[in-house]
Chains A and B, each alone.
Chain A
Amino acid sequence: SLRPHGLEGMGVLLYAAKSTGLGVQSPLCSFGQILLCGPHPCDLLSPRRVDVLVMTPWFAPIIWDGTFDSAILDAQFRDTTIGLTVFAIKKYVVFLRLFLETAEKYFMVGHKVTYYVFTDRPADVPQIALRAGRQVVVLHVGSYRRWQDISMHRMEMISNFSRQRFLHEVDYLVCLDVDMKFSDHVGVEILAPLFGTLHPGFYAADRQSFTYERRPLSRAYIPRDEGDFYYAGGFFGGSVPEVYRLTTACHQAMTADQAQGIEAVWHDESHLNRYLLSHKPSKVLSPEYLWDERMLQRPPLLRKLRYVAVPKNHGEIRNR
């Protein structure tokens, strides 16, 4: 019911200007609202995916196709800059072209992206045509003799550069393996303070058969009756402060292990799993976000394959 007040006209003048500034929507904004509502109404009684778990017991969403609306999320992450770290050491530079070209097609399209390419061979970094708002930053780093050391020292390098550089340049960091390519949309649905990805080989396994480090001497040790998921070392990330904390902790743990003369069974991946057990991720990415078609049969529950392994000859590519 309308309640009579004086000064209706004056009121419109006084508050119309202020209202939009505060985000109170005037009717004129309703056209813009269409983007914010999404095509599918929210129906509490109709879960979108009934074949998989979409939320962990600590409320972290598990990202599967069909659970999220990109239009709403893109609007929420409108002013976000995403940093992507990738290591192309020694012969691994050959993977960069396909990696970057497919990233241009599928990774965070429409948002500002900075690719941080860590390499010992800056001259071999290919020139890729980039969309607007995206840039490649080549970081010249040293290499190690053993591929295990190269893999593990990624943690140290990300930690150092996070503090020195990434903190001031990007909002989120996504830390990826380079011997992969993007094959479908990977967007802001993955962004969270801290996220990990389900390893494609273990998403259906019991925690006892996860390949955690099982020797108590190691800092990465996880007992047989503990563990949520087996996370993959090739796809993790979060806000810069959180990734800094994670990589620093993992690097310190690996250094401590080295002093004890022990190396975790899956190197940085073991330490990542130890960290994510005690520091629960705020989002978990389904195996859609990391898959290997040659090693695994694709099950029906994977509606999309977004980031997949590129065939490589291990003997040839490592240690050269």
Chain B
Amino acid sequence: MPPPAMHCPRLALGLGFCLLLGIALCSLWVYVENWLLVSYIPYYLPCPEIFNMKLQYKEEPSQPVAQSQYPQPKLLEQKPTELLTLTPWLAPIVSEGTFNAELLHHIYQPLNLTIGLTAFAVGNRYTHFVQHFLESAERFFMQGYRVHYYIFTHDPQAIPRVPLGPGRHLSVIPVPGPSQWEEASMRRMEAISVHIATRAHREVDYLFCLDVDMAFRNPWGPETLGDLVAAIHPGYFTVPRHQFPYERRPVSTAFVADGEGDFYYGGAVFGGRVARVYEFTRGCHMGILADKANGIMAAWQEESHLNRRFLSHKPSKVLSPEYLWDDRKPQPPSLKLIRFSTLNKDTAWLRS
């Protein structure tokens, strides 16, 4: 009997061709993989168990509040409130006068929370801000709670030792140095999400991600805690939404169309429960990567992606511009207490 190959030469040729094609495609794929300039997190991070849980709104049981004396809430307000206090999706907008600090302290203190705070000091200009940032945080940020600062920097030696109060810790996280400022700010979302997955989920309950070239001016306390927290950008809260500096090119994943938008949120402040911040930063990072692969950079880099994401995944709490202020602007009477702002002109020498 003749061997099957000789019997069906076309079959043999076909098989051989498929084999060659397969090998060619495989090598092309390997070549392409190596050539990709984008380094991205593997799609399936070795995530801790909590992230595999169905991330429904798993609320903690409401703890009983210790008795505290405070005035009765006045249901029928005679004086008009100056600022909007609720978003249309019923998220609180936090400003001075909307909350009772002592009552909130009674609610949150017994929960033994640890609040994390990330700041990026990447680039020689930014390491100079760390001292003032940390000193002001020691004075005003989450007084009476356990706090863990995470300072991401390319130069751990440049981070000053700032004396910390009891229950407050600092960790320096090394990150690669930037080639350009824009490049650095685009890697923050990635760095934060990796940091949460590898470490912060075990160490903190809530996490805030702040810009480092700023300082705390007044108390920043548990009124800011929420599942997913955004802050209103100080430059755009008086402006209609078609003038918000959203990314307007449809090809970008950060695209927001005309007629859409709630608030313009600032990229310098966001936070929430550590699992929610993980989802949020990972989502932003994926959008940034998609744009990178398409050769586009959003108008305001991370801030554009942050705004896009907060439009579809609305924050559960919004901080008024008291929590993210620009000292160069005159303070309007509706903002009673500026708590976190850019460094003012007096400290501009720090920048040089």
Contact = CB atoms under 8 A, between A and B. Distances in A.
B241 A41 contact: yes
B127 interface: no
Given A36-B311, A50-B81, A54-B86, A2 B296 contact: yes
Contacts of B321: 44
A59 B260 contact: no
Interface in B260-302: 260-263, 282-283, 286-287, 289-290, 292-297
Contacts of A24: 253, 283, 286-287, 290, 308-309
A68 B314 CA distance: 14
Contacts of B82: 45, 47
A168 B64 CA distance: 26
A283 B237 CA distance: 26
Interface residues of B, number: 80
Interface in A184-207: 189, 193-194, 198, 203-204, 206-207
A204 B253 contact: no
B37 interface: yes
Interface in A24-53: 24-27, 30, 33-34, 36-38, 40-48, 50-53
A1 B291 CA distance: 12
Nearest to B99: A57
Contact of B37 (A5, A44, A73, A279): A5
Nearest to B36: A7
A193 B99 contact: no
Q: Helix, strand, loop or mixed for chain B's interface?
A: loop
A30 B283 contact: no
Interface stretch (B89-97, B149-157, B164-172, B201-209): B89-97
Nearest to B320: A44
| Most chain B beta-carbon neighbours within 10 Å: one of A8, A43, A282 | A43
Given A44-B93, A50-B81, A226-B67, A206 B72 contact: yes
B248 to A, nearest CB: 11
B320 A23 contact: no
Interface string B76-106: 1100111111111110111000111001100
Contacts of A25: 253, 255, 308, 312
16 contacts: A12-B294, A15-B293, A24-B286, A24-B287, A25-B312, A27-B251, A33-B311, A37-B311, A44-B83, A47-B80, A57-B70, A193-B57, A193-B59, A203-B75, A206-B72, A282-B62
Interface of A: 1-8, 10-12, 14-16, 18-19, 22-27, 30, 33-34, 36-38, 40-48, 50-59, 61-63, 67-69, 72-73, 76, 189, 193-194, 198, 203-204, 206-207, 225-229, 239, 241-242, 245, 278-280, 282-283, 301
Interface of B: 32, 35-38, 43, 57, 59, 61-65, 67, 69-70, 72-77, 80-90, 92-94, 98-100, 103-104, 107, 223, 232, 237-238, 240-241, 250-251, 253, 255, 257, 259-263, 282-283, 286-287, 289-290, 292-297, 308-309, 311-314, 317, 320-321, 334
